[in-house]
Homo-oligomer: A and B are copies of this chain.
Amino acid sequence: MMLELVEEHRCWGGVQRTYKHDAKSIGLPMRFSVFLPRQASFAKVPALFYLAGLTCTEETFPIKAGAQRYAAEHGIALIAPDTSPRGAGVPNESAAWDFGVGAGFYVDATQEPWSRNYRMYSYVTRDLREAVLTDLPVRADRLGIFGHSMGGHGALVLALKNPGLYKSVSAFAPISAPSQCPWGVKAFSGYLGENRELWKQYDASELVVNASARFEAGILIDQGLADNFLATQLHPEIFEAAAKQAGQPVTVRRHEGYDHGYYFISTFIGEHIAHHARVLCA
């Protein structure tokens, strides 16, 4: 797997890069961003995958979250993929902002015409991970994952479905029970079809019930109470209840006045990275 360097900027003593590579699962070139802390110039470092939300790209997180200073402090690499294939050529794939381009939902689509390229689950867990481990100074045994909204859903699902692969997980305002909200129903119907049994494989509130993946340090979720999508789309209380019932420690912190955007994320990003660092840098 060859990485093509698209851009590079020095940042907090390390480097912020954008790479492009051929992604086998997707069948198209994909872009992702990487922050490598100074520590990565002399040793392999832990890495934290960040999955972004609807309409975002691989640039959203490095530009808006203010995460690099904390990653520099802890010596952790940050890796942020794009949120869908680009250029698949599916008719009308850019017509909606919550389905298709920018809205891959971190699933492997089974339905035509999406199933050829819309395979973000395999892309993140396999292609991207392998590319990072092969070509960047990252430790395979110290990976964590987090994300926002659609990407919070993605982070929870990928962590729960792959025991041992990600050692730590957290989320900002995740779509916590996608089978039970309009965004999730639309995406799962389109990508996975009408068989709701299949949806359970990508629904964190279902997966957590029988997951063999365990996160002893707990799953950290931050949620703004002025988030316009909280009541209709996010349902953290469903995940919270399911996790508690399953004995998986979870902390949902609810913050008065904070909304769904990156000003919210940037406020708490340092605490998320510290949460991961307690596991990944131990």
Question: Residue A68 at the B interface, CB < 8 A?
Answer: yes
Measured between beta carbons, the chain B residues less than 8 angstroms from A267 are 10-13, 68-69
- Among residues 240 to 282 in chain A, which have CB atoms less than 8 Å away from a CB atom of chain B? 255, 257-259, 261-264, 266-267, 270
A259 to B16, CA, bound (A): 12
- Residue A113 CB within 8 A of the other chain: no
**A72 — nearest CB in chain B belongs to which residue?**
B267
Q: In angstroms, how far is the closest chain B Cβ from the Cβ of A34?
A: 13
A37 an interface residue at 8 Å Cβ cutoff? no
Chain A interface size, as a band, is 20 to 34
Interface 1/0s, chain A 51-81, versus B by CB < 8 A?
0000000000011101011000000000000
B264 touches A9 (CB 8 A): yes
Question: Could you say how many copies of this chain the assembly holds?
Answer: 2
Instruction: Compute how far the CA of A2 lies from the CA of B116 in the bound complex, rounded to whole angstroms.
Output: 55
Q: Which residue in chain B gives the minimum CB-CB distance to A259? A: B9
Is the CB of A28 closer than 8 A to any CB of chain B?
A: no
B-contact 0/1 string along A8-40, CB 8 Å cutoff:
011111001000000000000000000000000
Which of chain B's residues have a CB closer than 8 A to the CB of A262? 63
| Across-interface contacts of A13 in B (CB, < 8 A) | 267
Q: What are some 13 contacts across the A-B interface (CB < 8 A)?
A: A9-B258, A9-B259, A10-B255, A10-B258, A10-B259, A10-B264, A11-B267, A66-B66, A68-B266, A68-B267, A69-B266, A69-B267, A69-B270
The chain A residues found within 8 Å of chain B, CB to CB, are 9-13, 16, 62-64, 66, 68-69, 224, 226, 255, 257-259, 261-264, 266-267, 270
